[in-house]
């Protein structure tokens, strides 16, 4: 939105990770302009865009309080919360399903990983293939779990010095509950410890109890941070927030 001829009043950046969802991924308002005024003018245009794209709703992970408060006043509702876990790294063994192999991802395998992602995560959490390609180029650790050359899960992590983050971990639906998630988690943690990481964080859904139990079993502690996922219907339908997926990290 431009004020006058030259002054940029604000910016609202969106990303379409899934046909049903338009995600607000960035926002800024120039000093001196009320956030409510800017968002109030920009949001109808965004809603019209979403309807033209046949999306069922708008989503925003509300890590910025000013934006969350402004969107809530415009009819967005908190439909889930993302929480953060932390782990003081230390020696641990690799455990979990030993019938699978864990090996680095190759580019031609990204399509299969994207298919698993679509299968196990609700639309608001999807990672499309182009984001996976970006991760392959920058992640410090990106692996797949295979059973007889069939990809059954994947994991990527990043670190900087002594601090690491488990960015994504997913297991194919038919392989959940068979120790694949445990194997991928412990393999990733061992790799981070070997790289000199002493503090590991991850994010997951508040409602994802299976994942939370796994993390807590390996010493992760809830840091007490909860970020709302805000949602506004465009077609009077709520998004699928199925929590059967093993993991979600942002």
Q: Does residue 19 lie within any of the structural domains?
A: yes
Question: Do 36 and 156 share a domain, yes or no?
Answer: no
34 token code pair: 């009320």
Q: Does residue 26 lie within any of the structural domains?
A: yes
Q: Does residue 177 lie within any of the structural domains?
A: yes
Looking at every residue in the chain, the average pLDDT score rounds to 89
Question: Do 196 and 220 share a domain, yes or no?
Answer: yes
**For residues 143 and 165, what is the distance between their CA atoms, to the nearest angstrom?**
15
Q: Does residue 24 lie within any of the structural domains?
A: yes
Last-in-domain residue among 27, 50, 75: 75
Last-in-domain residue among 58, 75, 92: 75
**For residues 153 and 116, what is the distance between their CA atoms, to the nearest angstrom?**
8
Question: Do 69 and 90 share a domain, yes or no?
Answer: no
Q: Does residue 43 lie within any of the structural domains?
A: yes
Is the pTM higher than 0.95? The answer reads no
Question: Do 21 and 117 share a domain, yes or no?
Answer: no
Number of domains in the chain: 2
pLDDT at 242: 44
Domain of residue 221, CATH code: 3.40.630.30
Question: Do 43 and 139 share a domain, yes or no?
Answer: no
pLDDT at 236: 60
Which tens digits make up the pLDDT trace of 42-81?
Answer: 899 999 999 999 999 999 998 788 999 999 999 999 999 9
Question: Do 148 and 112 share a domain, yes or no?
Answer: yes
Domain range for 157: 84-226
Strand order in the sheet with 77-88: 10-18, 21-29, 57-61, 221-233, 77-88, 199-205, 163-171, 150-160, 141-147, 101-104
Burial class (CB in 10 A: 0-12, 13-18, 19+), 182: middle
Q: Does residue 96 lie within any of the structural domains?
A: yes
- pLDDT(244) > 50: no
Question: Do 89 and 192 share a domain, yes or no?
Answer: yes
Lowest mean pLDDT among 108-122, 125-139, 224-238: 224-238
Question: Do 103 and 7 share a domain, yes or no?
Answer: no
**For residues 131 and 69, what is the distance between their CA atoms, to the nearest angstrom?**
29
Which tens digits make up the pLDDT trace of 162-221?
Answer: 999 999 999 999 999 999 999 999 999 999 999 999 999 999 999 999 899 999 999 999
Question: Do 115 and 35 share a domain, yes or no?
Answer: no
Q: Does residue 145 lie within any of the structural domains?
A: yes
């Amino acid at each position: 939105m431009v004020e006058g001829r030259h002054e940029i009043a604000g910016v609202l950046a969106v990303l379409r990770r899934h046909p049903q969802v338009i995600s607000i991924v960035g926002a800024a308002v120039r000093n001196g302009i009320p956030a409510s005024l800017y968002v109030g003018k920009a949001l109808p245009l965004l809603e019209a865009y979403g309807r033209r794209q046949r999306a069922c709703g708008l989503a925003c992970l509300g890590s910025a309080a000013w934006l969350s408060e402004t969107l809530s006043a415009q009819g967005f509702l908190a439909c889930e919360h993302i929480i953060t876990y932390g782990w003081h790294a230390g020696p641990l063994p690799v455990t979990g399903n030993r019938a699978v192999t864990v090996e680095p991802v190759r580019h031609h395998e990204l399509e299969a990983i994207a298919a698993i992602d679509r299968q196990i995560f609700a639309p608001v959490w999807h990672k499309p293939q182009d984001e996976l390609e970006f991760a392959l180029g920058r992640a410090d650790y990106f692996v797949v779990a295979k059973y007889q050359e069939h990809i059954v899960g994947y994991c990527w992590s990043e670190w900087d010095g002594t601090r690491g983050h488990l960015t994504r971990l997913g297991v194919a639906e038919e392989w959940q509950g068979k120790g694949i998630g445990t194997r991928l988690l412990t393999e990733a943690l061992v790799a981070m410890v070997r790289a000199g990481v002493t503090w590991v964080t991850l994010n997951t859904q508040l409602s994802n109890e299976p994942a939370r139990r796994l993390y807590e079993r390996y010493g992760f502690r809830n840091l007490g941070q909860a970020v709302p996922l805000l949602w506004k219907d465009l077609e009077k339908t709520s998004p699928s927030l199925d929590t059967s997926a093993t993991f979600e990290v942002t």
